[in-house]
Structure formats: C-alpha cells, structure tokens
Chains A and B, each alone.
Chain A
Amino acid sequence: MNDFSVHLPILQVVIPLLAAPFCFILRKEAVVSVFTVLVGFACFAISMDLLAQVIDGDVLVYELGDWARPWGIEYRIDILNALLLVVVSSMAAVVFIAGPGQARRAIPEGRGYLFYSAALLTLTGLLGVTITGDVFNVFVFLEISSLSSYILIALGRSRRALMAAFSYLIMGTIGATFLLIGIGLMYQMTGTLNMVDMTERLRDAEQTRTIFVALAFVVVGISVKLAVFPLHQWLPNAYSFSPPLVSAFLASTATKVAYYLLIRFCLGLFGLTLVFEVVEIDVLLLPLSVMAMFVGSIAAIYQRDFKRLLAYSSIAQVGYMTLGLSLASEAGVAAGLIHVFNHALMKGALFLVAACVTWRMGGTRLDAMKGLGRRMPVTMAAMVVGGLALVGVPGTVGFVSKWALVSAALEKDAYLLGFLVMASSLLALVYVWKLVEIVYFQEPETGIERREPPLRLLVPTWILAGASIYFGVFSDFAVDVASRAAAQIFAAGM
C-alpha cells in the first residue's frame, strides 16, 4: 500500500464525478444537500493541498491507469492549475451551502437531487479542464461542464431561462467546436495530444499556416466561452435568467476556467514568440479588452435588473483579465490571475446577494429593491462590500487587482492604458452608486419590516464578502501565488 496522497490529483476530479451519480441513489434531498457540501469542501481541501505541493515550483504528474505519456492521459499540476483549482473548488464549496434555492420551483417535487447532480457534474468538468495535461481531455471536460451548466441555467424561474440556456448552448457548442478544430490541427502538426510533448514539438515545428489557423480557432473558441467582447452575447441572458445561485457559481468559476485555458494555450502550448511576435494576437486582444471594459460598464449602468447589471459588469471584468494577458508581460499575466481570484470572490458575493434578494422579493428588478437597505441591512451591507470591490476601493480585493493591472501597464510604458483602467473604474462607481442610491436612499414601496434571508444564504454571502475584504487587506496570498504562476508559465512559454 503506497502513500495515498499521491492520488490527490485524480481524487480532485473523481470525487465530484462519482458524487454526481451517487446523488441519484441517495435521492433524499436533505441528505444530498449535506453530502454535496461535504464533497465541495473535500475538493477544496484537496486543491489547497495540491497548491501547497506545487507552490515551490515542482510539477505534479499523475498518470491515469499507470500509462505513461504519450500513451495515457496524464494530469499535470503546476502553480497555474493549482491556483485555478483552488478558485473553482472554494467557490463551489461556498455556493453549495446555499442549496438550489430558487431553482426548486423549476424542479418537480422530490427531484431536487437532480440539481445537485448537475451542479457536481459542472464542478467535475471545470476541475477536469483545469487539471488535465491532455488537450483532448480538455475538450471532453469542457463539454461535461458545459452540458451540465446548460441544465442549471435552464432551471431559472422565468421561461426565458430556457431560451437563455438554448442560446448559450448554441454559442457554447460553436466555441467548443472551434476549440476542437484547433486541437485537431495542432494534433495534425505534432502527432500528440499530450501538452508537454505538444509544447516541445510546436516550438520546433515550422510556423506553417496550419499552426496559425489552429491558433486562430483555439483563441476564438476559448473567447466565446470566456465571453470576450464582442463574443459575449450569451452571457447577460445566461447569468440573469438562471437561478441566482447558479449565476453565483458560474460567474465565479466558468469564465475563470476559460481564462485559464486561454493562458495555457497561448503561453503554455503555442508559446510567447508565436502568439505575441509572429501572430501578434495582442493587436486584437488589447483593443477588445478595452472595449469590453467600457462597453460592459456602460451597459451595466443602464440595466434595470440587479443580476443583469452584474452580468454586464462581468463582461467588463473579463476585459481586465484579457487586458492583463494582452500586455504580454509577466506582470500583466500575474495581474490577470490576481483578478481571476479576486473577481471570483466579489462577483460570487454579489450574485449571492442577488440570491438573497430573490428569496425576499421574488425577483431582482431594481425597482423592487428600493429601500432594501432598511429591510435587509445585513444582506445589503454585503452588497456594498462587493460593489466597493468592483469599483476598486482600497481595502478591498478590487483595489489589489487594479493596482496590479495599472502597475503592469505602466511597466510597459502604456500610460494611456493605465488611465483607461482607472477611467473604467469610475464607470463601475456609477453603477455601484446607482445600486447604493436605490437601496439606501429611496423609500421602500411596501413596509419597512426587517427580515433577513435564512442563514444558509446569509452565511455563504458573508463568507465571500468577508473574503473580499480580508484578501484586500492581506493581499499577499493572491499576489504571491499569481506572480509565481505567471513566472512559471512565462518561463515555459519562452
């Protein structure tokens, strides 16, 4: 019997994977909900352990079925994967506490366990995409996470959720197909699907048109999943019509994993020279990121629904992440990764606030939220914290991200970019202020009775809101891990 901890990389994926069908057999919703939370925290514990193992620069390899590469699939964990695993599994653990909530109305009586199954499968897919060292396996796990997230989105209360899920299905499938075509072309040029082998051979390969086309397909495919402007059309509907807890989970994990893929493919597989010197992808990505920052924020200002506002704000936040990558510098990628971690915290907190509001008001229309500051003070305080983090006020995680991003821009002498980042933060201030004004300075239409949501909603909301402050003050963890991850992937991308 060997030391069981060597199996942690596979357990990270297998535990939620097997927990999903297990929910089918447990069936009793009360049991399943506790079980799911336990699974979420088990995944979180494993990911923290993996991060601790790789933080000093070691790379952890796990061969499935003991088949060495190139025959078998291997899981390969460096700091970058480990950071994303921590983000995804921690968000899952926290959001699972809240349970299906509003989705319950869309689920037939006694079949609540199906929600948990779909949620666990989404988690499996996202963790699998992140952990695997095989490009085809990436596609398979991406499909697992996508298919199950379409189910989750379709569970929204209004019938428009079905349409939102369907258009996400179409866009997501196009994105995944593009990725697969790109992977196919890469396979054609290298004869391997293993990331390590592929990286080596792509560096040596002649830079033919096939590789350029592969890069184009891969980047566009991932950009659809990542909702890079102007491929973001699916996102506002998907996030605003899905059950609020699903939005909280997906907003804080799915786009982050897509961002990971973009970094992994651009820096890890294709390499810096090809991506930023030969093809010069930043010429396209940089303006699109800036556009996303502004278009997303401006659109958010005009929204009349809380969740829709948050969804448009997410598009802007994705812009900050891709801006970090398009700076083509170690500091830029580090800033992007810091923002991945921080944005997961704040957007998770805000969508959980939306879940609380839905619980109380039955919806998240801003009109209905008038005076909620007096009716749900504890919840709304969490909203203010999340909002301040979105703006980037010092003392919150948002400040840490913006600081890193602006310094990375200045390091490249891109003063205008630094200015634009700050200018778009002012736009964030506008929509956050709009929320604060409605919630605190407008008279409620119906009574001022104080009633907070149940603890199962309030606790996860405040865990994330609290973390948005904690990691804003003690920013070392995120900054340190992200910088190391960026340094490692940059060294590999040379």
Chain B
Amino acid sequence: MSGTPLKMRVRETVILRVVGKSVVPFILLFALYVQFHGDYGPGGGFQAGVIFAAGLILHGLIFGLDDLERAIPPIVIEVGIALGTLIYGGVGVVSMLMGGAFLDYGALNHHDPVHGQHLGIFLVEAGVGITVASVMLAIFYAFAGRSRD
C-alpha cells in the first residue's frame, strides 16, 4: 500500500493494533470451530473459510499487505485454491476406487459405512474450507495489491 497519510494513521493507531492483534487468533480459532463442528451444528467449510480469511484480511488491513504476504505468500494461496478442489474431487475419486459411486462416502469404510460418511463429509468440507479461504485471500491480494504496481 502506498503511504498516504490516512493509511499511516490507521496503521499507527495503538488501539487498533493491540485489539487487532489480540482478536485475530480468536477469529481463526472460531473459524476452525465452525469448520470442524460443522458436521454436528451450524457451519461448514464455506462459512469457516470465509471467517478464516476474514481474520487474515483484518490482519492485513491493520499491519499492511506486505506483512500479510510474508505470513502467507501468494503462491501458497494459489496452491490452496487448487488443493481444496482436488481434495473434494479426490474424495469422490477414492470412493469410486473403493467400489462405490462418485462421492459415495459410505464406500470409504467397508466395515462401517457411517464412519465412511463421517470421513467423507469431513474431508470434503476441509477441501471447501481451504479453497474458500484461499479464494477470499486471493481476491483481497488482487485488490489491495493494485496500488503497488
């Protein structure tokens, strides 16, 4: 970001920095809760991905894009976008290799199809979460990085 006076002030406000720093970890933690408790309660990969990305974007807004990019390089995000999709599709392919239909989670565990369903939905939601969080960050990087070049 270019150093316009307003942005400098935002970055130098002590309250913002301190509160932001202490809130971001909890936002990320909450995202993980929404992700992994999504099987039983409200939530799931999409919501979790958005919350996770929102926490990181808050960090980026307060401490600057460069700081965020040091923590999460753009290449990681690009791989994350692809990885999540591949996990989702991969679960489908594996369930096919295990003798079921595409995305038939029950086939993932022959002894107990219910466990298979659990595993399948867990992995698929994880894939969704990774991709959504990565895409959110990619959009933020794309817009926030515009003023740089």
Interface on A for B, CB 8 Å cutoff? 1-2, 7, 10, 14, 17-18, 20-25, 62-66
Contact = CB atoms under 8 A, between A and B. Distances in A.
Nearest to B95: A65
Given A21-B83, A25-B86, 8 more contacts: A10-B101, A21-B89, A23-B82, A24-B78, A25-B83, A62-B102, A64-B101, A65-B105
A10 B92 CA distance: 10
Sorted nearest first, the 7 A-B pairs with minimum C-beta distance are A24-B82, A21-B82, A65-B103, A66-B104, A66-B101, A10-B102, A21-B85
B73 interface: no
Interface residues of B, number: 21
A25 B134 CA distance: 14
B79 interface: yes
Interface string B79-96: 101110110011011001
Q: Which of A2, A18, A64 has the most CB of B within 10 A?
A: A18
B49 interface: no
Q: Which of A17, A21, A22, A24 has the most CB of B within 10 A?
A: A21
Contacts of B106: 66
B101 A63 contact: yes
Interface in B90-121: 90, 92-93, 96, 99-107
A66 B92 CA distance: 11
Contact of A14 (B78, B79, B92): B92
A10 to B, nearest CB: 4
A18 B96 contact: no
29 contacts: A1-B99, A2-B99, A7-B96, A7-B102, A10-B92, A10-B96, A10-B101, A10-B102, A14-B93, A17-B89, A18-B85, A18-B89, A18-B93, A20-B85, A21-B81, A21-B82, A21-B83, A21-B85, A21-B86, A21-B89, A25-B83, A64-B101, A64-B102, A65-B101, A65-B103, A65-B105, A66-B100, A66-B104, A66-B106
B79 A25 contact: yes
Q: Which of A17, A18, A64, A65 has the most CB of B within 10 A?
A: A65
Nearest to A6: B101
Contacts of A20: 85
Nearest to B105: A65
**DSSP class of A's interface residues: helix, strand, loop or mixed?**
helix
Interface of B: 78-79, 81-83, 85-86, 89-90, 92-93, 96, 99-107
A268 B35 CA distance: 41
A109 B101 CA distance: 41
Q: Which of B89, B106, B107 has the most CB of A within 10 A?
A: B89
Contact of A22 (B82, B99, B104): B82
Contacts of A65: 101-105
B30 to A, nearest CB: 28
Contacts of B93: 14, 18
Contacts of B82: 21-25
Contacts of B101: 7, 10, 62-66
Contacts of A14: 89, 92-93, 102
Contacts of A22: 82, 86
Nearest to B75: A27
A64 B105 CA distance: 11
B48 to A, nearest CB: 20
Contacts of A17: 89
A21 B90 CA distance: 11
A24 B90 contact: no
Nearest to B100: A66
Contacts of B83: 21, 25
A17 B90 CA distance: 11
Contacts of A62: 101-102
A297 B130 CA distance: 50
Nearest to B86: A21
B149 to A, nearest CB: 11
Contact of B90 (A18, A23, A66): A18
B26 to A, nearest CB: 31
A452 B90 CA distance: 43
Q: Which of B96, B101, B106 has the most CB of A within 10 A?
A: B101
Contacts of B103: 64-65
B36 to A, nearest CB: 22
A66 B99 CA distance: 11
Nearest to B80: A24
A29 to B, nearest CB: 15
B82 to A, nearest CB: 4
Contacts of A10: 92, 96, 101-102
B17 to A, nearest CB: 35
A343 to B, nearest CB: 33
Contacts of B85: 18, 20-21
B53 to A, nearest CB: 18
